[in-house]
């Protein structure tokens, strides 16, 4: 009997890289083990067809294992490091104006909730968003998209939540669609009408919740643009019962649940995330040992945001080390927003994860790529350099991925490959 070696067919070759980072034991979803190991392959080439990786191996073995299309494109990777494209799974990237005055107030001792109660915070940005046209919002947000891409981000989630009425929430969704058309980066839309209670509805928040459930969610679902439905479960925002109502309403219309939980107070947001099968529970700054136990094995991706706790000058950060020790697939994200986190870029968040959360370079990389992809229900499509996944890769002029977080505030990105296509070069 003759053994025939299977040959891969390719139309794009990332050739002769100095090194590429793979994950030998990647987390593959609920019920599977979380692996935190990385491996740097040397003198490697990566081949793809129609945007998906078909072969990874030593550059000298390429011709023996890959049938290359006549019109295939070659990209010279000599001197470059390849890592999975970063996934920023939690952002409020679409907003207008700035809140530099509130930043100064915070430095002078005002808390986030005090600023919110004084009419600042989310409600401040809501007024700015309502005042701008779709085109004006697009221009402001496009600059941030470009900055994220220039740091190595190939997939980014963007939430609504600064409209706080149906007209302006739909306007935000339209702008996100405009951004999807204009840029190669993968953009995932999250509806977050339940971001805050408008100032004129604070004495009747239950009726506002009913409006979100009965009017907003059906209208958002009809656009077929949003994937997720998020809610801010916190004092002076939405109670656990209100949050449950909103998330269940979204589920009826096919919107997957996400939740802002345990950011300021432990109210039961983690319990609710597990109960409704949320894709992710985010922030988790105050999550205790009991909350970690509830998350273990639940399939909910714990997404921690070290940039936010740093920007807010918190005395402590999310218990990422305890979560990792408990076997949780911890993800990290930027939470870029106008009020509580102006950090933007994968490199600075890698640094924050290492410095503030005491995560290793391998843990930070996996949390910001593979696990963040799982936080967007894309954990088997992107987030790792692996045969069968989309070729979303960040190329750096660095010797090792460990230098990404080490070079704090410095950017050594050379290029991006998204869906098997170079972004910054032909």
Residue 365 lies in a domain: yes
Question: What is the per-residue pLDDT across 14-33, written as a single tens digit (0 to 9) for each?
Answer: 999 999 999 999 999 999 99
Percent of residues, the chain, with pLDDT higher than 70:
98
Residue 2 domain-assigned (yes or no)? no
Read out DSSP for 301-367?
EEEE-HHHHHHTT-SS---HHHHHHTT---EE----BTTTB---SHHHHHHHHHHHH---HHHHHHH
pLDDT of 1 > 50? The answer is no
Contact predicate 48/111, CB 8 Å: no
- Residue 2 binned pLDDT confidence (cut-offs 50, 70, 90): very low
DSSP β-bridge partners for residue 47? 13, 55
**Cα pseudo-dihedral 192, 198, 202, 203, rounded to 10:** -110
The verdict on residue 123 lying in a domain is yes
Query: Does residue 307 fall inside a structural domain?
Result: yes
Structural domain of residue 401, as residue ranges? 8-84+384-422
Q: What percent of the chain has pLDDT over 90?
A: 92
Is-contact 270 262, C-beta < 8 A? yes
Task: Let me know: does 417 contact 14? Beta carbons within 8 Å.
Answer: yes
**Are 55 and 139 members of one domain?**
no
pLDDT of residue 6: 80
* 76-97: pLDDT as tens digits: 999 999 999 999 999 999 999 9
HSE (side-chain half, CA atoms, 13 Å) at 35: 14
Tokens of 288: 């205790």
pLDDT tens column, 351-394: 999 999 999 999 999 999 999 999 999 999 999 999 999 999 99
Choose the final residue of a domain: 338, 353, 374.
Answer: 374
**How many Å apart are CA 331 and CA 291, to the nearest integer?**
16
Q: Is the pLDDT of residue 3 over 70?
A: no
Residue 302's domain is classified under what CATH number? 3.20.20.140
How far apart, in whole angstroms, are the C-alpha atoms of residue 347 and residue 330?
A: 17
Contact 317, 122 (CB under 8 A): no
Question: In terms of domains, do 125 and 245 share one?
Answer: yes
The yes-or-no verdict on residue 116 having pLDDT over 80 is no
The domain that holds 35 is classified in CATH as: 2.30.40.10
d(CA 273, CA 257) in angstroms, rounded, equals 8
pLDDT in tens, 207-251: 999 999 999 999 999 999 999 999 999 998 999 999 999 999 999
Structure tokens at 36: 């935190």
Tell me whether residue 215 is in a domain.
Answer: yes
The structural domain count of the chain equals 2
* Four-CA torsion 415, 397, 188, 282, nearest 10 degrees: -170
- For residue 384, CA distances in Å to 25, 53, 186 come to 11, 10, 15
Based on the domain organization, do 330 and 267 belong to the same domain? yes
Instruction: For 135-189, write each residue's pLDDT tens digit.
Output: 999 999 999 999 999 999 999 999 999 999 999 999 999 999 999 999 999 999 9
Same domain flag for 322 and 181 = yes
In this structure, the answer to whether residues 147 and 26 fall within a common structural domain is no
One domain for residues 171 and 43: no
* 1 occurs within a structural domain: no
Residues 359, 391 share a domain: no
Q: Looking at the domain assignment, is residue 3 inside a domain?
A: no
pLDDT confidence band for 75 (50 / 70 / 90): very high
Verify that 253 and 352 share a domain, yes or no: yes
- Do 272 and 322 reside in the same domain of the chain? yes
40 and 153: one domain? no
């Amino acid at each position: 009997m003759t053994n025939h070696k299977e040959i891969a067919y390719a139309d794009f070759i990332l050739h002769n890289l100095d090194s590429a980072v793979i994950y030998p034991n990647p987390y593959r979803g609920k019920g599977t083990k979380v692996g935190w190991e990385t491996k740097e392959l040397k003198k490697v080439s990566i081949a793809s067809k129609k945007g998906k990786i078909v072969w990874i191996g030593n550059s000298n073995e390429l011709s023996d294992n890959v049938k290359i299309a006549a019109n295939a494109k070659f990209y010279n990777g000599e001197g470059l490091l390849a890592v999975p494209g970063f996934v920023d799974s939690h952002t409020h990237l679409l907003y207008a104006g700035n809140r530099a005055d509130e930043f100064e107030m915070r430095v002078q001792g005002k808390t986030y909730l005090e600023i919110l109660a004084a009419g600042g915070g989310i409600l401040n940005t809501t007024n700015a968003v309502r005042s701008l046209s779709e085109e004006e919002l697009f221009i402001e947000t496009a600059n941030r998209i470009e900055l994220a891409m220039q740091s190595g981000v190939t997939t980014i989630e963007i939430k609504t939540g600064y409209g706080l009425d149906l007209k302006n929430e739909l306007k935000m969704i339209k702008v996100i669609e405009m951004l999807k058309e204009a840029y190669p980066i993968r953009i995932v839309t999250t509806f977050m009408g339940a971001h805050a209670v408008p100032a004129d509805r604070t004495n009747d928040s239950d009726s506002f919740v009913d409006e979100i459930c009965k009017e907003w969610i059906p209208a958002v679902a009809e656009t077929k643009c949003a994937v997720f439905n998020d809610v801010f479960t916190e004092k002076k925002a939405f109670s656990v019962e209100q949050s449950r109502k909103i998330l269940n309403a979204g589920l009826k219309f096919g919107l997957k649940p996400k939740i802002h939980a345990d950011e300021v107070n432990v109210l039961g947001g983690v319990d609710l995330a597990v109960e409704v099968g949320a894709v992710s529970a985010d922030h988790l700054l105050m999550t205790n040992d009991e909350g970690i136990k509830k998350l273990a094995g639940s399939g909910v991706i714990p997404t921690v945001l070290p940039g936010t706790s740093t920007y807010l000058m918190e005395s402590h950060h999310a218990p990422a080390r305890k979560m990792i020790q408990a076997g949780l697939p911890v993800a990290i994200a930027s939470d870029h927003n106008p009020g509580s986190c102006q950090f933007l870029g994968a490199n600075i968040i890698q640094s924050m994860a290492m410095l503030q959360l005491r995560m290793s370079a391998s843990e930070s990389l996996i949390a910001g790529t593979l696990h963040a992809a799982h936080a967007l229900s894309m954990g088997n499509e992107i987030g790792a350099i692996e045969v069968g996944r989309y070729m979303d890769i960040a190329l750096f002029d660095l010797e090792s991925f460990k230098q990404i977080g080490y070079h704090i505030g410095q950017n050594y990105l050379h290029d991006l490959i998204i869906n098997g296509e170079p972004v910054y070069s032909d």
